[in-house]
Structure formats: structure tokens, C-alpha cells
Structure 1
Amino acid sequence: MNNGGSGNFLLVPIPEYPPPDAAASKTVKIAVLGASNVGKTALIVRFLTKRFIGDYEANTGALYSRKVTLDGEEVSLQIQDTPCVALQDDAEGLNCQEQINRSIYWADGYVLVFSIADQRSYRTVRPLYQHVRRIHPSGNIPVVLIGNKSDLLRARQVPADEGAHLASSLGGAYFEASARENHQSVRAAFLQLCHEVSRALGGANGEKRRGGLHLARPKSPNMQELKRRFRQVLSSKVKSAGAL
């Protein structure tokens, strides 16, 4: 990956306490947020592996780690997958699990995801961003907005210009992407956010100023649990193919 990252990556949980020799490297922490069925996990897996797996178990909030090179500097990239958020009946507030609040507080930058084929998921984005702002009331918040499922053009409910306008109002860039069909747009979105976060953090061991809620970082999942989830997905696909 030229100018964006090394070719080596690990789909592993992030240790609760990094080893001493890792303390000198900068850590870029990103949370991926959005409503249900917008493809958050699929986007992360597509970015990290270039592969697409269409079916996943219910999101348990996995953490992934990868070494990447940003602006000539090797950094540790940590990506937090999150459970879905939902609009309340009044379409103003959000129903957020405590794990999501922890993830927001923990992260340095945010990928906000909606489906271009789901207007309600799009309407979730602004309240979700406002929720992030309440947890981090001061300073700039690096963010990108991804309109996923761009392969479903006939089912489109959100015009591209609306997505771009919303992203601009939030101070971020807009990307339309298809985790199913196109790795390049997914990669471009994640790498832009990684660069923005890295620059905001400054030098090695840079730490942003935290404001708002003081919450513990999200817990890492067990490695065996992550392996089990991937084996289950792959096994179900093999069975489906055999049935045909």
C-alpha cells in the first residue's frame, strides 16, 4: 500500500496494556459508528483484508490492530467496530449502548457509516455526530462519512449530493463506497481519516486533550472468539455453496 500502509496486518484483539517496547510508537485509534445493517464490519474487513464476507454474527464490538505507515512514520492503527445505534421514536435522540460511549471516548477519529439504500440510517448520522461532540465538547473531531452499499443504485434513497452536504456540515469528507464490490473507495476513506488523526496527534505518543465523559476504554475481545466468528461465517458459506 503505497503512501498508506505496510502490507502486513493482524486481525487480532488489542492488548489491554501495550507492551513496553510499543510505548514509543504513535497509536491512531478509530471507531466505526452507524445504524444497524449499514455494513460497518464489512467495511473494516474490506479495508484490512481486501476481502468481502457478506454475513456476520451480531456485532460484539471487535477491536483490530495493524501497523501502517502514515506520512513516513510507522504507527499502530487500532479500529474499533461497534454495535449499532438507533434513532429514538422522535427521530432526534439516540439509543446508544454503554459500549458505544466508551468507544467514542476512547477513539481519536470516527468513521460514520450509513447505507445509501436506507434513509433512516442516513438520518441517524447527524444525531450520532452530535453525541460524539457531547462526549468531546472541545477541539476538532476528525471524521469521515461513508455512504455504503453504492452497488445498490436502484434502491438508492439518499442522493450523493445530500451525503456530501452532510459531511461538509460536519467538517469531514464524504465517500460513497461498496464493501461488496470496491476496495479502493473503502481504503481511501479509512486512510484519509488515519492521516488526519495522525497529524492531529502530532509526534510520537501524542495524546489529544480529552473532555466530557471519563469512560474506560472498550475491552478487547478474546482472540479465540474472533477466530470462531470468522470460521462460522466461512463454514456457512461453504455449506450454502454445497447446497447449490
Structure 2
Amino acid sequence: MPLIQSNMSTYSSNFLLVPIPEFPVLDCSPNKTIKIVVLGGSGVGKTALVVRFLTKRFIGDYESNTGALYSRKFNLDGEQISLQVQDTPFVSLQDDNDSICCQEQINRSIYWADGFVFAFSITDYSSSRVIQPLYQHIRKIHPSGNIPIIVIGNKGDLLRARQVSTKEGIQLASELSGMYFEVSARENYEGVYDAFHQLCQEVSRAIRNSNGEKRRGLHFVRPKSPNMQDLKRRFKQVLSSKVKSATSL
């Protein structure tokens, strides 16, 4: 399976980032709503990937991840889609290294989602070891049917600190029947966009081929969703802390 190269730079600047409403919006039918969850270990850059995709911005420092749920509308292959992206707290391996420890919030997110982003850091080999057990955990929750997934190796700008090779990333994704993207949320927006866009296309095809089967996630408890003002507040906090650090020097 080849490494996907970044070749898409077109992105609408007219995007909407809003809290998820308690009930589905009227202008988007269930079959035009795509729900994605981003999963992975600690410190791999899950939130950075989500924010980079939704806003084009990179923020290096974040508050503790509370599992934010984001929503935006965009055109997918000429059709308007409502996209919901669920960020999640980190997943860790248990002592036997063959199973994972998941918070209940993550299990609810897995049940709710249509597609999955598995993220690890190429600078942390242990973060890549979380992916296989995590995939098996998802298979237990969804024992049948197609599961659209992609695997993202983040922090591609830190090649000197690499612990996971591109070949190992491709092999990992192949074992999960998914596509592999090696990206840098810090330096390359297009690569992050390509990865999420590919997954959205796969989820859209899976929904069209579901033959009207009942969509999952009817009982998902939606977490509190930050809006654009919250993202701006976090961005200002980071800038302010960096200015203070520079001043103290």
C-alpha cells in the first residue's frame, strides 16, 4: 500500500465551526452527516490534527483534552456534508501490552462514529503499539460490517527523532485494511487535509452502500462542544505565554 502524497491544497475559507446541536440540524439528512472520531495515545497530536484540519492553524500547546466535539459544513465531491469530528482523551496500553485501557467516553465515541482516525507519533514507538489493540477493541464494538479507517503518523517534521519508519507505518495500516498518511500538523496543512478528506470519502461510500440500515449512535451522549470563540481563546493563551517567555529571557 503506497504512502499517500499530499496533492490537494484547495480548501474553502467559508467554513463553520459551531457546537453540535442537541438534535440533528434540519437541512442535513442522516445520510449527509459524517461522524469521525480521532483516537490514539498520549501526546501524539490528536487535537493539533483536528484543529489544523478545521481551522488551518497550528497551536503547539493545549489544555488537557476533555473530548471536544466539533462540527462544520463543507463540500465533499460537490455535495454539502455536515462533518462532526470527535477529539478524545488518550488511550493507553495495559501492563500486559496486549489490551488497552479506554475511558467510557471513548467507548461511547466508538459506538457513535462512522469512521476512525488512528493517530500516533513517528517519534514515539510506543504510541504506534496502541493502534492494533485499539483496532481490535473497535472490532468488538462493531463485530460486523466495514469500518472506514485511516492511520496517521504525525510529527513528520521531526525526522531526526524518528522511531517509527514509513515502512512500519504502511505495514500497520495495511494490517488494518486502511490507508497510511505521514504528516506534520505543525508544518503541513495540506497533508492533514488529504488524510481527513480521504476518510470522509470512504465514510460517504460506506453510508451509501449501507442499504438504508439504521445509523449508529442514537444514544450517544454528546460532550460539551467548544465553539470558535473557545478556539480563539486557546490560541490567545498560547501566544500570550510565548510572549511572556520571550520577555523573561
**Is TM more than 0.5 here?**
yes
Q: CA RMSD in A?
A: 2.6
Between 1:68-77 and 1:11-20, the stretch displaced more is: 11-20
1:39-82 deviation digits (Å, cap 9, x = unpaired): 00001111111111100011011111111111221110110000
Distance 2:234 2:127 in 1: 25
Partner in structure 2 of residue 6 of structure 1? 12
- 1:220 is paired with a residue whose SS is coil
Partner in structure 2 of residue 233 of structure 1? 238
Q: Is the aligned partner of 1:111 residue 2:117?
A: yes
Match of 2:159 among 142, 153, 157: 153
1:151 touches 1:181 (CA, 8 Å); kept in 2? yes
Distance 1:83 1:157 in 2: 23
Match of 1:185 among 191, 203, 210: 191
Distance 2:214 2:236 in 1: 37
Match of 2:129 among 105, 111, 123: 123
Query: In structure 2, do the counterparts of structure 1 residues 24 and 97 end up closer, same or farther at CA, with 3 Å as the change threshold?
Result: closer
Q: TM-score, normalised by structure 1?
A: 0.89
Partner in structure 1 of residue 248 of structure 2? 243
Structure 1 residues 164-243: aligned runs within 5 Å: 164-202=170-208, 210=216, 216-221=220-225, 223=227, 228-243=233-248
- 1:76 is paired with a residue whose SS is strand
Partner in structure 2 of residue 55 of structure 1? 61
Deviating beyond 6 angstroms after TM superposition, the runs of 4 or more aligned structure 1 residues are none
1:169, distance to aligned residue in structure 2 (A): 1.0
Partner in structure 1 of residue 105 of structure 2? 99
1:187-237 deviation digits (Å, cap 9, x = unpaired): 11010001111111118xx66654xx9852432335476564444334323
Letter in 1 for 2:137: H
1:16, distance to aligned residue in structure 2 (A): 1.8
The share of aligned pairs that are identical, in percent, is 67
Letter in 2 for 1:236: S
Partner in structure 2 of residue 79 of structure 1? 85
Distance 1:125 1:65 in 2: 25
Partner in structure 1 of residue 3 of structure 2? none
1:184, distance to aligned residue in structure 2 (A): 1.3
- 2:81 is paired with a residue whose SS is strand
Distance 1:146 1:237 in 2: 28
- 1:184 is paired with a residue whose SS is helix
Letter in 1 for 2:107: N
Structure 1: gaps spanning 5 or more residues: none
1:12, distance to aligned residue in structure 2 (A): 2.3
Between 1:9-18 and 1:101-110, the stretch displaced more is: 9-18
2:28 touches 2:81 (CA, 8 Å); kept in 1? no
2:31 touches 2:207 (CA, 8 Å); kept in 1? no
1:145-170 deviation digits (Å, cap 9, x = unpaired): 00001111111111110110110110
Partner in structure 2 of residue 162 of structure 1? 168
- 1:20 is paired with a residue whose SS is coil
Distance 1:4 1:15 in 2: 28
Letter in 2 for 1:135: I
Distance 2:105 2:214 in 1: 21
1:4 touches 1:68 (CA, 8 Å); kept in 2? no
Structure 2: gaps spanning 5 or more residues: 1-7
